[in-house]
Structure 1
Amino acid sequence: MSKNTKQTSEKMATLAAETFGNPKASAIAKSLAASALAQSGTDKQTSAEMEAKAGKALHSDKYSDETKALAASVLSQSNKERRS
């Protein structure tokens, strides 16, 4: 199985931590933030479930730019074979 060696950047990890701790953040934003934080400093890859959530967030007009940035970060760390 092909591995994606990308990791969450420090900038994205900071955004994720701020989002995760924000009581006003949406459930999907917190979910994406948790996924990004879990992948920070590790070689963990995004699950298929999180790929789907991130994809929906990116294609929706109702989410903020910050949520979409987290979604893009999470998708960039997905399994290369699933993305093919």
Structure 2
Amino acid sequence: MTSNSGQTGSEAASAAARTLTDPNATEEEKAAAASALSQAPESQGETGSEAASASSRTLSDPERGDAEKSAAASALSQSPEDPEGK
């Protein structure tokens, strides 16, 4: 499997932290935010398939704000690349 070396930047990590503490954030938003935080420079994690799916749904939801979409995009940027190029 090809590896993606991207990491969550400080602004995206801050947005993700705000999302995690937002009582109005959905479970999908919180999953994307948690995944983004797991990609912070101190972490060695990768975004899993469930978090990637939640992130994708967050990005395509027109009612989601910039902070949620930033965290979701960051999480997706750390998804493992498909070894078959799909």
Q: Same fold (TM over 0.5)?
A: yes
Alpha-carbon RMSD across the aligned residues, in angstroms, is 1.7
Where in structure 2 are there 5+ consecutive unaligned residues?
none
Distance in 2, matches of 1:23 and 1:53, equals 18
How many angstroms does 1:19 deviate by? 1.6
The alignment covers a number of residue pairs equal to 84
Is 1:73 the counterpart of 2:74? The answer is: yes
Q: Percent identity?
A: 35
Distance in 2, matches of 1:58 and 1:10, equals 19
Between 38-47 and 2-11, report the one with greater CA deviation: 38-47
Q: In 2, are the aligned partners of 1:28 and 1:53 still within 8 Å (CA)?
A: yes
Poorly superposed stretches of 4+, deviation over 3 Å: none
Query: Equivalent residue for 1:28?
Result: 28
| Deviations 1:24-81, CA, capped at 9 Å, x for gaps | 3232222211111111122321111111111111112122222111111111111112
Distance in 2, matches of 1:75 and 1:69, equals 10
Distance in 1, matches of 2:45 and 2:77, equals 12
Query: Equivalent residue for 2:4?
Result: 4
- TM-score, with normalisation over the residues of structure 1? 0.84
Between 22-31 and 72-81, report the one with greater CA deviation: 22-31
